[in-house]
């Protein structure tokens, strides 16, 4: 039996062939197993002799089977190496990442405005009350300044690269409108900027709210800028973003830093489930004369418009994303859809 086994095993070329050779000898229906079953029919004297022989045969077979499996694994690897590795070939490219959908949205909107002469502006995320509120004509008792809405820094916080205007608190900017102030102080008028950036609010996180989100601020100040200019630029932007048939409408609203102020709704036939329905999207208005005065621009000479657009909201509408938290979870299954 053993010599037959020794002849059969080297013939096995695959793991399953090894398994069937092994089964034919030591499996439940194998030759050695069958032999064990006749032991009780033997003479009492012969039983231990035969039993011992069978055991020796089993002990010989088992390591040989293990080695046969190892041999087949080695042969498989050697074959793969020979066939697939040509060290003279250039190495495969690293897989390319993709821009985050929020970055893509920001770049898209900034691109739309660069085409019509706007410059991208940025300013600090960490702000002071003056830049975020006072200069924007937002009085000290305005609800947006409540500690329930705005994330303030401790009174004794010291931030070397952001200068305080007066005795005031540092905060994480609750909107990008503070960039309007910094840009106008730096450049004066006329000015045309598009300013993407982070904003922070003390919001409870859910499908549509995040304590850390992104806005794009737009500001245009020049001689004789009128409400029709604002309406025209909004129409242009929404056509670029949501298709040539997109429309906008303005509804009266209120912001301390614009007068008059509006909510913008837009509508497009290319919006899937939301097609041809007014969708509330953002706030805008004509820059309040008090804001211009606060930055040393004469409102008798200059006028302008401003708006603030939520980046997450636009990206969610553009891609039918139903939960804002997808943007921050870093789940590759989500992110890879935007390549």
Residue ranges binding ligand PHE (CB under 6 A): 175, 177, 255, 258, 283-285, 306-308
Question: Residues 327, 315: contact at Cβ < 8 Å?
Answer: yes
At 145, list the tokens.
Answer: 């300044």
Nearer to ligand PHE, 30 or 308 (CB): 308
Check whether 259 is labelled as a binding-site residue. yes
Place of tokens 């009492």: 44
SS3 content of the chain, % helix, strand, coil (to 5): 45, 20, 35
Residue with smaller CB distance to ligand PHE, 101 or 285: 285
Q: How far is the CB of 332 from ligand PHE (least distance, A)?
A: 31
Tell me the residue nearest to ligand PHE as measured from the CB.
308
Cα–Cα distance between 53 and 50 in angstroms, integer?
5
Query: Measured from the CB of residue 258, what is the shortest distance to ligand PHE in angstroms?
Result: 5
Spatial strand order of the sheet with 119-120 comes to 119-120, 191-200, 212-222, 303-310, 279-287, 258-267, 247-255
What is the nearest approach in angstroms of ligand PHE to the Cβ of residue 175?
A: 3
- Residue 99 CB, shortest distance to ligand PHE, in Å, is 24
Q: In the complex, what is the shortest distance from the CB of residue 100 to ligand PHE, in angstroms, rounded to a whole number?
A: 22
CB-CB contact of 284 with 306 (8 Å): yes
Q: Which is nearer to ligand PHE, 25 or 305 (CB)?
A: 305
Question: Is 150 or 268 the residue whose CB approaches ligand PHE more closely?
Answer: 150
Q: How far is the CB of 283 from ligand PHE (least distance, A)?
A: 3
Minimum CB separation of residue 234 from ligand PHE in Å reads: 12
> CA triplet 210, 123, 225: central angle to 5 degrees?
100
Between 21 and 181, CB nearer to ligand PHE: 181
Quick one: 234 or 241, whose CB is closer to ligand PHE?
Answer: 234
Spatial distance between the Cα atoms of 143 and 284, rounded to a whole number of angstroms:
19
Count Cβ atoms within 10 A of the Cβ of residue 183 and give its class: 0-12 exposed, 13-18 middle, 19 or more buried. Answer: buried
Backbone angle region of 115, left / alpha / beta, with phi > 0 → left and psi within -120 to 50 → alpha: alpha
Cα–Cα nearest to 178, from 214, 106, 130: 130
Of the pair 101, 308, the CB lying nearest ligand PHE is at: 308
DSSP conformation letters of 44-91? TTHHHHHHHHHHHHHHHHHHHHHHHHHHHHHHHHHHHHHHH--TTSPP
The backbone region for 164, taken as left when phi is positive above 0, alpha when psi lies in -120 to 50, beta otherwise, is beta
For ligand PHE, which is the closer residue by CB, 58 or 231? 231
Give me the DSSP letters along 2-54. HHHHHHHGGG--SHHHHHHHHHHHHSTTSHHHHHHHHGGGS-TTHHHHHHHHH
Bind-site residues for Mg(2+): 259
Bind-site residues: 259
């Amino acid at each position: 039996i053993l010599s037959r086994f020794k002849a059969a095993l080297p013939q096995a070329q695959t793991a399953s062939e090894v398994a069937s050779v092994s089964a034919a000898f030591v499996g439940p229906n194998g030759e050695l197993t069958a032999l064990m079953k006749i032991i009780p029919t033997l003479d009492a004297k012969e039983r231990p002799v035969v039993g011992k022989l069978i055991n020796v045969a089993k002990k010989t077979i088992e390591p040989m089977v293990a080695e046969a499996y190892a041999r087949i694994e080695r042969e498989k690897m050697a074959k793969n190496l020979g066939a697939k590795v040509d060290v003279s070939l250039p190495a495969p490219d690293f897989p390319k990442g993709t821009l985050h959908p929020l970055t893509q949205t920001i770049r898209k909107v900034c691109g739309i405005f660069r085409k019509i002469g706007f410059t991208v502006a940025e300013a600090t995320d960490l702000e002071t009350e003056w830049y975020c509120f006072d200069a924007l004509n937002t009085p000290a008792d305005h609800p947006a300044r409540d500690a329930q809405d705005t994330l303030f820094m401790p009174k004794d916080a010291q931030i070397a690269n952001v200068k305080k205007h007066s005795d005031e608190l540092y905060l994480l900017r609750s909107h990008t409108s503070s960039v309007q102030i910094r840009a106008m102080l730096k450049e004066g008028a006329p000015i045309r900027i598009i300013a993407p950036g982070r904003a922070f609010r003390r919001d409870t996180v859910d499908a549509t709210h995040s304590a850390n989100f992104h806005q794009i601020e737009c500001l245009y100040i020049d001689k004789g800028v009128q409400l029709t200019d604002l309406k025209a630029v909004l129409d242009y932007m929404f056509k670029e973003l949501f298709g040539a048939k997109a429309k906008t409408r303005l509804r009266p609203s209120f912001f301390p830093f614009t007068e008059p102020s509006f909510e913008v709704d837009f509508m497009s036939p290319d919006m899937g489930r939301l097609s041809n329905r007014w969708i509330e999207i953002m706030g805008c208005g004509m820059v309040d004369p008090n804001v211009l005065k606060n930055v040393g621009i004469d409102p008798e000479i200059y006028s302008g418009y401003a708006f603030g657009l939520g980046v997450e909201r636009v990206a969610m509408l553009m891609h039918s994303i139903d939960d804002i938290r997808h943007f921050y979870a870093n789940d590759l299954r989500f992110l890879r859809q935007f390549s």
